[in-house]
Amino acid sequence: MLASWMILNTINPQLVELKEPSTLPDASTPTWDKVRVPGTCADEKTYTVELYSQANYQPAGEPLKCYNLNESEKSFSKGFHSIDINGTVAIRLYDEANLTGKNICFTSSQPDLGRCYIDCPPGPSWFCSDSWLSDVKSLKIISAGECSNPGKTLNAGSVPEDPNEICR
């Protein structure tokens, strides 16, 4: 301990001096990071669905976008990697603008959309390489009861198109 003090005192004597702070923090000075409550976005309002730019809901506490029931995006271009669902709602993703085209819905959180496939060629599942990560063009938050085939890609007629087009 004495050796550490001597080294610090030699490098910079101010490092070993104890001083009272010149200003004390007041109520408006943040003294620690806020703890984020699930279901709240940057504006601190409560939401049922949060989209994250990276897998596994990262960066933690910093959702890319937040939504509530019946909200939608008819032209969506922001890339997101994971979906956190808080409550009894679902999210339906579409591969075309204006809530049209192939779609997939989720009633529970999805840590990695890279594991949810679309446009699979016929044959074994290992032929699937295109995921929903880059194909979301519009989305809508719906009630959980409106999601009849969670985690399965449906064609425009709401019928499963290919048994390989699922989340793994």
Contact (CB, 8 A) for 117 and 164: yes
Which segment of 4-13, 16-25, 39-48, 140-149 scores lowest on mean pLDDT?
A: 16-25
Q: How far apart are the first and last CA of the chain?
A: 55
Q: Model confidence over 6-39: pLDDT tens digits?
A: 776 677 666 556 666 555 555 554 444 444 455 6
Gap between the Cα atoms of 37 and 89, Å rounded: 18
- If you average pLDDT over every residue of the chain, what do you get? 76
Specify which of 39-43, 144-148, 150-154 reaches the highest per-range mean pLDDT: 144-148
Angle at 128 between CA 127 and CA 130, to 5 degrees: 140
Question: What pLDDT shows up at residue 149?
Answer: 81
Give me the half-sphere count of Cα atoms (radius 13 Å) on the Cβ side of residue 92. 28
If you search the block for the tokens 């032929």, which residue do you land on? 127
Whether the per-residue pLDDT at 42 is higher than 50: the answer is yes
Q: Which helix (H) or strand (E) holds 85?
A: strand 82-85
* Residue scoring higher pLDDT (48 or 30): 48
What mean pLDDT comes out for the span 42-63? 85
State which amino acid sits at residue 113: L
pTM of the model: 0.69
Name all domains of the chain by residue range, CATH numbers in brackets. 38-168 (2.60.20.10)
